[in-house]
Chains A and B, each alone.
Chain A
Amino acid sequence: MSGPGDLMLEVTGLSVHFGGLRAVDNVDFNVAKSEILGLVGPNGAGKTTTFNTVFGMIKPDAGRIALRGADVTGLPSERINALGVARTFQNVRPFAELSVRENIMMGAYGAGFCGVAASALRLPRHRRLERLAQERADHWIARLGLAAYADLLTTALPFGLQRVAEVARAMASAPDLLLLDEPAAGLNAVEKQELSRMLITINQETGCSLLLIDHDMTMVMGLVQRVVVMDFGKKIADGTPAQVAADRKVIEAYLGV
C-alpha cells in the first residue's frame, strides 16, 4: 500500500445530488502517484458524475477532493487543470476551427496567461509561452504518430485519430494526473489495443497517473493496476482487477443477479 505522501488524488465522502437522485453517494477512493486506476460500473453508476466533480465541472454537495494533499474541492476546471490535471471527453471535443497542432498547443495553455498587450505586441512572455506550446505539441505529435495530420483540421480526422489527438492535447499540459472518460468508446478492437499500449507507454514514460472510467471491463482489466467499482452512486469494490472480478457484489451489479 502507498503512504499518504504518495497520493496524487484523494476523494473522501464525495456526494452529488441531482434533485432527489443521489448520483454519487459518499464515495471514497484515491489514486497513487504514477498509478493507473480504473473507475468502472454499469451505466448510470455515477462514474461520469464523479469524474466531472473531480475535474471541477460540478460542485459536490458533500465531501473533499484533494490533489497531492491540498484541498481543491469546488475549484473550477481551469484551476484544476493548472494544478496538473488534464482530461479527455467521452465524445471527443476538438476545437473545430483549429488544426491538430493548434489543438494540441491549446493543451499547454494553462502554462500561463498572456494579456492583451503581451499577446498583440508579441512581448517575450508571449514568445516564451508560445514556444513552450510549440515544443510540447511537436513532442506529442511525434510521440503519438500524428505528424502526417498535424496541419489538418482535427474534425477532418477519423474518430480514432481524433481521440489520439485529444490524448495529445491533454498530455500537452504536462499533467501529473490524466482523467480519461471512456477512452475506448467508439473504437474497434485493434484501436482499443493500440490505445491501451499508448496509455501504458505514456504512464511509464511520464509517470503521469491515469484515472480512466469505462463500463466495459475487458479493456480496463488489462490496463489498470487497481479498480474501483461503482453501482447506483456507491462504491461497491476496490482492489486489483483479479480481486474485483471475483467479488460477489460486482458480479451482481453486472449480471443483475
Chain B
Amino acid sequence: MDLTSFAQTAFAGISNGALYALLGLGFSLVIRSTGLINFAQGDLMMVGAILTGALCRAGIPVAASAPLAIAATTVLSAGFYWFAIRPAAGATMAQVVLLTIGFAICLRGVVTMAWGSDPMMVPSFTGEMPLDVGGVSILPQELWLIGVLAVITLATGFFFRHTVMGLALRAGATNPLGASFVGIDPRVLGLLAFAASGFLGAVAGAVWSPISFAQVDVGLGAALKGFTAAILGGLHSNYGPILGGIVLALIESFSAGYISSAYMDSITFGLMLLVLVLRPQGLLGTSLSMTKEERPEEVLSTKARPTGFTSRDLAMIGIIAVVLTGLGLTMNGTWLTSGIFAGIMAIVVMGLVLLTGYGGQLSLGQGAFMMIGAYATGFLTVKLNWPSYAAMLIGVVLAATVAFVLGRLIFVLRGLYLSMASFGLLMISLTFAREWTNVTGGPSGLPGIRPLAIGSFVFSTDRANYFLIAAVSLVALLFCLSLARSRLGRALLAIRTNEPAARACGVDVTRHKLRVFAVSAALASIAGSLYGHYLGFVNPLPFGIDATIAQLTALTAGGFLSLSGSYVGSAIVIALPLVITKIAGTTSSQFSAGVQYVAFGILLIGVVHAQTSSVFVRMGTLARGLIRVGAGAPRIAAGKEHP
C-alpha cells in the first residue's frame, strides 16, 4: 500500500471515527449521569438522519432541515426520559435498560411505518464534489463531520470544566445521593443526559447520512460501535469517547484495508472485549469510577418465595401440560406452526428468566447460542453424518463453554456490561454464519437436516413436532424451576438484591453468574437444534436482532421471575405479528413490520411500567383477589399481617 492510499485509509478512518465519537460521547454522558446503557443511542442517530432526509424531501433546504431534525430528536429523547424512565423509579437496572431497548424499537417501528425501510438520500451541506488533497479524495461533507466533532469536543471540555451544570453532572455521576443533598436533582441530570444523547445522536446522523444514506436498520449496530468507542477511550473520561471513536475507526479502516472487511464486526467486538478485560477504565480513564455509594437494592418481588418445590409448582406444571396438550390437539395450520415456534422460544426465554430475573444479568446475545446449537446440528448431521442427539449435545457443550469463557471475562466487572458484550457476540456469530461458508453454508444456509426420531418414530409432521417441542419445553421448565427453587436459585436472588451481603454469606458471585449464564446458553442451544431439525435447514436469518427483540419482549411480558410465564410471553410475541398482519392485511409488508416493532416496543415499555412484576403474576393476583372478594374474605396482603 503506497502513501496515498495509506493517507486515504487513514482519512476514512478519521471521518468514520467522528461518527463513532459522537455516539460514544452520548453513551458516556448517559452512563455517567444515570448509570444506564442507552440502547436507543444508535436509533436516535437514525432518527436524526431520517428526519433530515425527510424534511429535505419535503423541499426544506438542508440548512434548515438538519437543525430542525436535531432539535426534534433532542426533545424526543428528553421526553422519553421524562415520561418513560423517570417514573419507573422502582425498576431494576436491567428493566430500565430494557426500557431503552423498547424506545429504540419504537423509534425504528415508527420510522419504518412513516418512510418504509429503503435507504433515503440526504443532500450534502455544501456540494458533492470531492476535493483532491495531494491525491487523497475528500468529500466536503467529511470535513463537516470532522469540524462538527471538533466543535463538540471543545464545547464538551468547556461544559465540564467551566459550567455549573457540567460540575453538577460530574458530581451527580460520582455520588448521586451526595449531589442530591446539595440541590442537584438526579432526575434533572438524567433529563439533561438524555437530551444530550438525543442531540449528539441526531447531529451524528444528520451530518453523516449525506456521506452514506439514511437507513432505518443501522441503529443497534451503530450503538455497538459507539459503545465500543466509549469503552475504548474511557466511559468516565471527558475526551475518552472521542479518542476511542477515532482509534476504533482507524483500526477498522486499516484492518478492512489490510486484512478483510468481511469480519470487521468481529474486530470491533474483539476490541471491546479486550479493553473490558485488560483496561476497563479505557485509554484515558484513570480508574473505574467506583463510588462508595451502594447501588439501590434490586427487588423484583415483594412476596416470600417458597423454599423448595411446592404442590403449587407441580399443579402449575400439570395445568401447563394439559393446556399444551389441548392446544396441540385442536390447533391447525399456521396456528400449529406458530405453536411450535412459541415452544422453541419459551425454552430460550426460560434461560433468560434464570439469567435476568434471578441472576440480574441481561443478555442480548441468546441468538448466538441458538446459532451454535442450530449449526452444530446442521453441520454435524448433514456434513459429517453424526447422529442427531450427539450433535445436539455437542451444541450444548459448545454453547455453555462459550458462555463460560465470555462470562469469565465480563463478570469481573459489576454492572450490565454483559448486555453489550453478548450483543457483540451475536454480531460476531452472525458474521461467521454469513462468511464461514464451508461450515455454515453462508446466507443461503445448510439444507437437508433430517427430522428428529426416537427409535423408528420420525417427527415428520407438524403435530408430532409440536408435541416433541412441548415435551422438551416441559422438561426444561421442570429443570429450571427446580434450579430456581434450589440453594443455587436462592443464592442468585441474594446476589441480585445485595451483593456484599451475599459474599458475606460465602457466595462466590462470579461462579454463580457463570453457572446461570451457561445454563441459559445451553437452553438456547437446545432450542436452536430443535429449530434446525424442525425446519430441515438453518440460515442466519432467524437468529438476528429481531429474534433478540422478540425474546426480550417475551421475557418482559411473561414476567422476570416467572418460568411458567415464558409460555405466555412467547405466545404473545408469536401471536402479535399474526394478529397485526390480519388487521393490517392490505397494507405493505414494510408497514406491518413497522407496526410490529412499535407493538413490541410498547409492550416492553408498558409491561415494565405496569409491574414491576408481570402480566402473568398480575393476572394471578387479580384472580386471587376476585376469588377472595367472591368468598367475602378480607383483603389483606400476606406480608402485612404482623403477628
Binding site for B on A (CB under 8 A): 55, 57, 76-78, 81-82, 86-87, 89, 93-99, 101-102, 105-107, 109-111, 113-116, 119-122, 126, 129-130, 133, 148-149, 151-153, 155-156, 169-170, 173
Contacts and interface: CB of A to CB of B under 8 A. Distances in A.
B493 interface: yes
Interface of B: 297, 299-305, 307-308, 479-480, 482-483, 486-491, 493-494, 497-498, 500-509, 511, 515, 518-519, 639-640, 642-643
B193 to A, nearest CB: 27
A101 B490 CA distance: 12
Interface centre among A105, A153, A155 (most CB of B within 10 A): A153
B489 A119 contact: yes
Given A93-B501, A97-B305, A114-B486, A106 B643 contact: no
B501 A95 contact: yes
Q: Top 6 closest A-B pairs, CB basis?
A: A110-B506, A119-B486, A93-B501, A81-B506, A77-B503, A99-B304
Contacts of B515: 115-116
5 contacts: A102-B307, A114-B487, A115-B515, A155-B302, A156-B642
Contacts of A121: 482
Given A95-B498, A97-B497, A109 B487 contact: yes
Contact of B507 (A57, A98, A109): A109
B502 A95 contact: yes
B307 A153 contact: no
A126 B302 CA distance: 27
Contacts of A120: 479-480, 482-483, 486
Contacts of A133: 487
A107 B488 CA distance: 13
Given A81-B504, A116-B519, A173-B505, A98 B483 contact: no
Contacts, number: 127
A130 B480 CA distance: 18
Nearest to B512: A113
A33 B471 CA distance: 57
B175 to A, nearest CB: 14
B504 A119 contact: no
Contact of A96 (B299, B482, B518, B519): B299
A77 B299 contact: no
A96 B90 CA distance: 14
Q: Is the interface of B mostly helix, strand, loop or mixed?
A: helix
Given A122-B486, A133-B487, A153-B639, A86 B504 contact: yes
Nearest to B489: A119
A95 B479 contact: no
Contact of B639 (A107, A109, A156): A156
Contact of A122 (B299, B480, B482): B482
Contact of B490 (A78, A81, A98): A98
Contacts of B640: 156
Given A94-B501, A116-B515, A120-B483, 17 more contacts: A55-B504, A77-B503, A78-B506, A81-B503, A89-B500, A89-B501, A93-B498, A95-B494, A97-B301, A97-B497, A98-B304, A98-B494, A106-B491, A109-B505, A130-B308, A153-B304, A173-B506
B483 A116 contact: yes
Given A114-B487, A116-B519, A126-B486, A97 B493 contact: yes
B170 to A, nearest CB: 17
A152 B304 contact: yes
Nearest to B297: A96
Contacts of B507: 78, 106, 109-110
A69 B135 CA distance: 73
Contacts of A96: 297, 299, 302, 497-498
Contacts of B519: 116
Given A97-B497, A98-B494, A106-B491, A78 B302 contact: no
Nearest to A85: B504
Interface centre among A57, A96, A153 (most CB of B within 10 A): A96
Given A105-B307, A152-B304, A153-B639, A119 B488 contact: yes
A131 to B, nearest CB: 11
Contacts of A110: 505-507
Contacts of B305: 97-99, 102
A110 B488 CA distance: 12
Nearest to A129: B487
Nearest to A91: B294
Contacts of A105: 307, 487, 490
Contacts of A156: 639-640, 642
Interface centre among A55, A97, A151, A152 (most CB of B within 10 A): A97
Nearest to B301: A97
Nearest to A170: B504
Contacts of A97: 299-302, 305, 493, 497
Contacts of A78: 503, 506-509
Contacts of A102: 304-305, 307, 490
A106 B304 contact: no
Interface centre among B480, B486, B504, B509 (most CB of A within 10 A): B504
Nearest to A104: B505
Interface centre among B307, B487, B501, B509 (most CB of A within 10 A): B487
Nearest to B641: A152
Contacts of A126: 486-487
A121 B488 CA distance: 12
Contacts of A115: 488, 515
Interface centre among B308, B490, B507, B515 (most CB of A within 10 A): B490
A208 B428 CA distance: 54
Contacts of A152: 304, 639
B499 to A, nearest CB: 10
Nearest to B491: A109
A149 to B, nearest CB: 7
